[in-house]
């Protein structure tokens, strides 16, 4: 047994000591925010209509505020270099450059190289959090990693239910798989996910076999979730992502239990490509990095159909039959708007306008060259749509657009702005998904429904206004985040000074301490990078007053005297990152 930091049970993390007086300045109020489009009835066959003139206007070349806002959606947070790149290349040029870049890290290979695939660690989590946080803090392919994080919250696997040897390594290999396919075709991505040992374990597809006389039946878990959560959802959608109603005004279901049973039969015969997956010293980790393999004697060869009785599996057993089954799903009219809405939610706003959904869905259906499922075209449509880029929307509409920033992205952005470095090279940030830290951690979702559901609304009174990230926002997590960040912005992440993931506030071209000589310049720079200069005047006044008042302090947390400049930087980061203006991303 190991604890969430990868140490043997019994070793206690170091305590940081008493809270700093900055805690008295904290007043974090979280507010849900989103946007809604027009309420006109949807015509399933109609092209998107122009709800207001702003949608038909060309998106202007980005200035630094607009570039920062774009990077806070499309990357892992705005940086000075990132803003320069976007203002030089433009939105499309930056996307093209990022999409052309190969993945920077292969997490499975790194785990193998440092020894975390050794048999001694086969039943632990050792290396999982280390590599995920290292990658998020350090990788240069920021669009790819941002999209992978989004996809990992749709196609969920979690180390919390990975009861196989090297389950944590399987999760790392799944991240690599998403990184490999996120700019490719959705059908290829769906096939790779289906055959992933991590997904095969998480949704119990591995080992699923045809029915026999003992009462065994094909496992239906993956078949159900691939429809409900990954591709088409529960009800038929029009191009705007809105439910299609029958003559009685009721939503039309996309599938039933018979559909799931038929699909489960089509998915039989797949299992790990390994000679042994028992908890034995001879078991090696490499099987979790290979697609599952087909066992013909377990495959259900009787006639079967997918979604509709006319979609009969006719291809040869094995990869051809699997591909045909997935193709039937892929071609369903729901997939475009279903995927479009969730990606807009993850990257842009909790409540996508119907026209935005429709334009992304059309890009999914046809990338302009007759190709369906081109993820590059889909992502461009998500991020370059006038409703994503224009800030000149009508006041009411603009005020309702946005999303609560995910805690993971808040921390990652801080780490990138402060050039965090692992003191001992292990990047041992630990499991931060507990409510006294972030209440969220990559690849640690509590269920297949992720940490939060796309349809989550704060209360019945909010009507159709959605705020998915608010599902992990409560009294405990709000206080936990504030207290945790108070610690983090001063000394960093980790369990001891020796293994600290420490901020480098005065290195690498962004010398925060030097900038702190002018509180106004310091706060303005953070306002730009963290929010695209969207902090309210009231928030700016409060932060500036506190920054000006910051003084040098002796021996904070045993790390020695802290200068006035450093305390100003810490105060500015902390107060902005716990303000409602920052937490709600516009």
> For 418-464, what is each residue's pLDDT tens digit?
999 999 999 999 999 999 999 999 999 999 999 999 999 987 555 67
| Segment (H or E) for 110 | helix 107-114
Cα-Cα-Cα-Cα dihedral sign, residues 363, 34, 473, 79: positive
Q: What is the mean pLDDT of residues 94-107?
A: 97
pLDDT of amino acid 10: 27
Q: Which residues pair with 243 in a beta bridge?
A: 237
Q: Does 508 score more than 90 pLDDT?
A: no
Higher pLDDT, 357 or 44: 357
Q: Measure the CA–CA gap between 114 and 105, rounded to whole angstroms.
A: 14
pLDDT of amino acid 496: 86
Residue 495 tokens read as 């369990």
Domains of the chain, by residue range, sit at 21-30+405-442+474-585, 53-60+101-399
In which residue are the tokens 């499975």 written? 108
Q: What is the mean pLDDT of residues 472-479?
A: 96
pLDDT of amino acid 53: 63
Higher pLDDT, 507 or 530: 530
What tens digit of pLDDT does each residue of 311-345 get? 999 999 999 999 999 999 999 999 999 999 999 99
For 164-289, where are the alpha helices, taking DSSP H only?
167-181, 186-194, 197-202, 221-225, 257-266
pLDDT of amino acid 561: 77
Q: What is the mean pLDDT of residues 110-128?
A: 95
pLDDT of amino acid 556: 55
Relative orientation angle of helices 354-365 and 375-384, to the nearest 10 degrees? 160
Q: Does 41 score more than 50 pLDDT?
A: no
3-state helix, strand, coil in the chain (%, to 5): 50, 5, 45
Q: What is the mean pLDDT of residues 278-306?
A: 91
pLDDT of amino acid 506: 78
What pTM did the predictor assign? 0.90
What tens digit of pLDDT does each residue of 379-392 get? 999 999 999 997 66
Which residues are CB-neighbours of 316 under 8 A, at least 6 positions away? none
What tens digit of pLDDT does each residue of 249-284 get? 999 999 999 999 999 999 999 999 987 777 666 789
What tens digit of pLDDT does each residue of 157-175 get? 999 999 999 999 999 999 9
At 97, the pLDDT band (50, 70, 90 cuts) reads very high
Which residues are CB-neighbours of 305 under 8 A, at least 6 positions away? 262, 311, 312, 313
pLDDT of amino acid 276: 74
Closest to 158 (Cα-Cα) out of 146, 145, 147, 171: 171
What tens digit of pLDDT does each residue of 535-584 get? 999 999 999 999 999 999 876 555 567 899 999 999 999 999 999 999 99
At 510, the pLDDT band (50, 70, 90 cuts) reads low
Q: Does 35 score more than 90 pLDDT?
A: no
Q: Does 8 score more than 70 pLDDT?
A: no
At 237 the three-state DSSP class reads: strand
Phi, psi of 270 (to 5 degrees): -105, 135
What is the CB neighbour count within 10 angstroms for residue 156? 22
Average pLDDT, the chain: 89
pLDDT of amino acid 392: 62
């Amino acid at each position: 047994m190991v604890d969430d930091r990868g140490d043997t049970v019994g070793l206690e993390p170091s305590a940081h000591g008493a809270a700093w007086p900055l805690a008295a300045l904290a007043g974090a109020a979280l507010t849900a925010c989103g946007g809604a489009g027009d309420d006109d009835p949807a015509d399933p066959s109609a092209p998107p209509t122009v709800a207001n003139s702003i949608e038909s206007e060309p998106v202007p070349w980005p200035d630094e505020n607009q570039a920062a806002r774009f990077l806070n959606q499309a990357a892992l947070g705005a940086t000075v270099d990132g803003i320069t790149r976007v203002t030089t290349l433009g939105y499309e040029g930056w996307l093209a450059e990022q999409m052309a870049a190969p993945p920077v890290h292969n997490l499975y290979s790194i785990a193998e190289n440092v020894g975390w695939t050794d048999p001694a660690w086969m039943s632990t989590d050792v290396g999982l959090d280390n590599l995920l946080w290292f990658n998020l803090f350090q990788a240069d392919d920021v669009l790819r990693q941002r999209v992978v994080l989004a996809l990992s919250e749709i196609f969920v696997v979690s180390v919390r239910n990975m009861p196989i040897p090297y389950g944590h390594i399987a999760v790392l290999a799944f991240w690599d798989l998403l990184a490999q396919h996120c700019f490719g075709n959705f059908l290829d991505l769906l096939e790779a996910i289906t055959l992933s040992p991590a997904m095969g374990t998480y949704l119990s597809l591995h080992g699923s076999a045809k029915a026999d006389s003992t009462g065994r039946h094909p496992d239906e878990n993956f078949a159900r979730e691939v429809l409900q959560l990954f591709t088409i959802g529960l009800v038929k959608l029009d191009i705007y992502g809105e439910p299609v109603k029958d003559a009685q005004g009721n939503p039309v279901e996309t599938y039933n239990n018979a559909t799931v049973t038929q699909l489960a039969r089509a998915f039989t015969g797949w299992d790990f490509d390994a000679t042994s997956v028992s908890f034995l010293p001879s078991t090696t980790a490499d099987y979790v990095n290979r697609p599952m393999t087909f066992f013909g004697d377990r495959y259900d060869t009787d006639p079967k159909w997918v979604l509709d009785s006319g979609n009969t599996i006719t291809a040869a057993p094995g990869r051809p039959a699997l591909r045909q089954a997935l193709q039937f799903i892929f071609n369903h009219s729901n997939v475009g708007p279903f995927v479009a809405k969730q990606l807009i939610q993850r990257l842009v706003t909790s409540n996508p306008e119907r026209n935005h959904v429709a334009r992304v869905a059309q890009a999914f259906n046809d990338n302009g060259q007759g190709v369906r499922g081109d993820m590059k075209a889909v992502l461009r449509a998500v991020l370059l749509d006038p409703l994503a880029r224009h800030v000149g929307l009508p006041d009411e509409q603009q005020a309702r657009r946005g999303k609560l920033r995910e805690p993971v992205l808040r921390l990652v952005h801080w780490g990138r702005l402060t050039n965090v470095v692992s003191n001992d090279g292990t990047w041992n940030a630990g499991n931060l998904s507990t409510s006294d830290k972030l209440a969220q951690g990559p690849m640690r979702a509590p269920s297949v429904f992720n940490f939060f559901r796309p349809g989550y609304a704060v209360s019945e009174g909010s009507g159709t206004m959605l705020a998915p990230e608010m599902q992990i926002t409560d009294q405990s997590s709000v206080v936990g985040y504030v207290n945790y960040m108070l610690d983090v912005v001063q000394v960093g992440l980790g369990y001891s000074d020796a293994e600290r993931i420490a901020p480098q506030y005065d290195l690498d071209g962004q010398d925060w301490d030097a900038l702190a000589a002018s509180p106004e310049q310091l706060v303005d720079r953070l306002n730009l990078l963290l929010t695209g200069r969207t902090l309210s005047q009231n928030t700016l006044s409060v932060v500036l007053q506190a920054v000006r008042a910051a003084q040098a302090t002796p021996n904070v947390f045993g790390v020695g005297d802290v200068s006035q400049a450093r305390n100003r930087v810490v105060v500015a980061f902390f107060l902005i990152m716990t303000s409602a203006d920052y937490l709600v991303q516009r």
